[in-house]
Amino acid sequence: MKRIFTFLVFAVAMMSWPVLAQEIDESFVFMDEDGNIIENEATVIRNDVDHDGDGNEVIYSGISVMNMGGSLTDDYLKVHYAIERLDAGTYQICFPTTCNMQSQVGDYETGMGLLMADVQDIQSEWFPGEADGECVVHLTIEIFSKQPGFPPSYNHKAWGPTITLRFVKGEIPEPGNSVDVNGDGEVNLADVNAVIDMILAQITDKKGDVNGDGEVNIADVNTIIDSILNKA
């Protein structure tokens, strides 16, 4: 039964892979504070703790959106942001003109509007509070075309790049191969079977929680399969 289960999980992941790898529109891209374009699916780590005007600790991302075609555009944008981890405090994002603050993990989106210039700061930051910890957020650009009428409507046009912001207060953990569940030095189907064993036996083992969500379940299997496919 376990082998059948493993095959089905792997087959589903293989079928979904072309969707995940579909081409994106790079008319608008993310840019760092030095003016460098951030590649799609890149991870940006920020751990410089600053203070805002009220004396609160804050870690700024320094991320902007850049219009690759110049300031003249008929496209409207919004930014989807998925908070994967929020150890403490609040995450704030301002784009294009409104600010939203979130204090728990989940999927959210900003307001929609035109860029005010070729480059516009997103003002994405984490207010960590007193304890050390992390905040991990995935940002994705969505592009719309505006339709005439009153009130106007907006049609989805394309998906832009996705990046991951990882805010860290305290020491940045050394990168490790968390998906090597059985510790044999390789990431392969043996690790998938190891996690499936834990799921079927209802065993909670921190080595099996490869995605760090506090549970050992099918999501950990998918994380290992993604790692195998990326390596291939």
Q: Render each residue's pLDDT in the chain as its tens digit; 232 residues.
A: 445 455 555 555 554 444 444 588 999 999 999 999 999 989 999 999 999 888 889 999 999 999 998 877 889 999 999 999 999 999 999 998 889 999 999 999 999 988 888 999 999 999 998 889 999 999 999 999 988 888 888 999 999 999 999 999 987 665 555 667 666 667 777 777 777 777 666 655 666 777 777 777 777 778 888 777 776 5
Pick the CATH number of 176-231 from 3.40.50, 1.10.1040, 3.30.160, 1.10.1330: 1.10.1330
pTM: 0.66
**Residue 199 CB contacts under 8 Å (≥ 6 apart), including other chains:** 216, 217, 218, 221
> Using CA atoms, how far apart are residues 154 and 78, in angstroms rounded to an integer?
11
pLDDT at 178: 63
Q: Two tokens at 10?
A: 């792997």
pLDDT at 232: 54
Fold for 24-169, please state it: Immunoglobulin-like (2.60.40)
Greatest Cα pair distance, the chain, in angstroms, is: 63
> Using CA atoms, how far apart are residues 181 and 59, in angstroms rounded to an integer?
33
Sketch the domain layout of the chain as residue ranges: 24-169, 176-231
Q: List the one residue out of 165, 138, 152 whose CA is nearest residue 79.
A: 138
pLDDT at 31: 95
Asked if 88 and 36 count as a contact pair (C-beta separation under 8 A), the reply is no
Asked if 141 and 65 count as a contact pair (C-beta separation under 8 A), the reply is yes
- C-alpha atoms less than 13 angstroms from C-alpha of 25 in its C-beta half-sphere: 17
Q: At what angle do helices 189-200 and 218-231 cross, to 10 degrees?
A: 180
How many residues comprise the chain? 232
